[in-house]
Structure 1
Amino acid sequence: MASTFSFDVVSDFDRQELVNAVDQTNREIIARYDLKDTKTTLELGEDAIVISTDSEFTLDAIQTILQIKSAKRNLSLKIFDYGKVESASGNRVRQEIKLKKGLTPEVAKQITKLIRDEFKKVQGSIQGDAVRVSAKAKDDLQGVMQRLKQEDYPMALQFNNYR
C-alpha cells in the first residue's frame, strides 16, 4: 500500500471533442437558412479558432452555436479566450478565439495557497503548468477536489493521475 496518495490539477481539454464541436458548427452554418449565404469560414488551428464572416450579427450567432456544440460535448466554455473583432477585406469581420491550455503561474499559486491555508495535512506543489496535490489519506484529497470545484477560476480545472 502506498504511503501517500496524489493527483494533479491541470487545465486541459479534449482536442478531439473540440474538433467535433467545430465540425458540427460548420455543418450547422451550411444548413441554416440565415447563415447559408454569408460565406462564413471557421478554421481550427493548433491553438486558436478563426471565424471570418460578413457581419458582427452573424459572428455572434456563430459564437453561440460554437458554445452550444462545445457544451454538449462536455467542453468548458472557459477554454475560449475571445479576441477583439477585426474588420477584414470586403466588408467582412474576423475574430480569433485563443484556446486556453495549462495553468498560469498566478492560478497555480492561488491553488497552492488555498491548499496551504485550508488543508493542513495536504501538500500542494507547482510542477510546470500543473499542481501536484498529495496527502496520506484519500479523504483529504477528495476534500481538496470538492473545495477547488467550488472556486471560480478563469480556466477549466481537471483532476488526473489520481493514485
Structure 2
Amino acid sequence: MASFDIVNEINQQEVDNAINNTVKEISTRYDFRGLHTEVTFHSKENRVHIVAAESMKMKAVQEMLIKNFIKRGIDSKVLEFGTEEGTSQGYLKMDATLKEGIDRETAKKIVKEIKATKLKVQPQIQDDQVRVTGKKIDDLQEIIRLMKSKDFGVPLQFTNMK
C-alpha cells in the first residue's frame, strides 16, 4: 500500500531569515528613521511580536513581513495577525501567530473532499496531519493535484510518499 501525509509545517530557519530581512529593511527605510519600531520572533511560542510608533507604520511592517515571507518561500497564510493594542509609552503593539499543523475542522474538510472524488484511497486524520493510503500511486498523485487546486485556508505540504 502506497501512502503520503498532508501536513502544514513551517521551516523555522526560513521564518527567522524573513524576520531578519524585515528588521534590516526597517533600519534602512527613510520613513522609519527616528521612530521606534521593533520586530522580534519567539520561536518557542511560534509568534512574531511587532511594536510600531503609529498605525500606518504597523501596516507597513505587516506588508514587509508578508513580502519577506513570500520571498523566502513561506506561504503568507501561516501568519495570523492579532489586534493592535496601545502600550504605556504611546506605541502600538501586535502579535502575529504562526499557524502550524492542520486543525480538526480543516482536516475534516480535507477528508470530505478526498472521499468525494470516489478514488480508491483511504484518508485518515492523525493528530495535526492527514494520511492518505491507496494501492495505486496514480490515485495518490491525483489526490495531491486536487489538494493543490483547493484552498483550505492553510498551506499544505505533501510528505512521506511511500
Asked if Structure 1 and Structure 2 have the same fold, meaning a TM-score greater than 0.5 normalized by the shorter chain, the answer is: yes
Between the aligned partners of 1:87 and 1:119, the Cα distance in structure 2 is: 52
Residue of structure 1 in register with 2:61 after alignment: 62
Q: What corresponds to 1:38 in structure 2?
A: 35
Provide the residue aligned with 2:4 in structure 1: 7
Match of 1:23 in 2: 20
Which residue in the other structure is 1:141 paired with?
140
In 2, are the aligned partners of 1:119 and 1:144 still within 8 Å (CA)? no
| Structure 2 residue aligned with 1:48 | 47
Query: C-alpha root-mean-square deviation of aligned residues, in Å?
Result: 0.9
Query: How many Å apart are 1:119 and its aligned residue?
Result: 3.2
Q: Return the offset for 1:78.
A: 0.6
SS at match of 2:83: coil
What CA distance in whole angstroms lies between the structure 2 residues aligned with 1:138 and 1:105?
Answer: 26
* Conservation of the 8 A alpha-carbon contact between 2:119 and 2:139: no
Q: What letter matches 2:55 in structure 1?
A: E
One-letter code of the match for 2:4? Answer: F
TM-superposition CA deviations, 1:116-154 (whole Å, max 9, x none): 121330110011100000111111011001101111111
5+ residue gaps, structure 1, are: none
Q: Give distance in 2, aligned partners of 1:119 and 1:11.
A: 25
Asked if structure 1 preserves the Cα contact closer than 8 Å seen for 2:122 and 2:133, the reply is yes
TM-score, normalization by structure 1: 0.95
TM-score, normalised to structure 2, is: 0.96
* Letter aligned with residue 81 of structure 1: E
The aligned amino acid for 1:117 is A
SS at match of 2:86: strand
Identical amino acids, percent of aligned pairs: 34
What letter matches 1:138 in structure 2?
Answer: I
SS at match of 2:123: strand
Output the amino acid matched with 1:20.
N
1:84 to 2:44 alignment: no
Instruction: Please tell me the residue identity of whatever aligns with 1:147.
Output: L
Instruction: Quote the offset at 1:113 in angstroms.
Output: 1.2
Q: CA deviation at 1:12?
A: 1.3
Q: Which amino acid aligns with 2:145?
A: Q
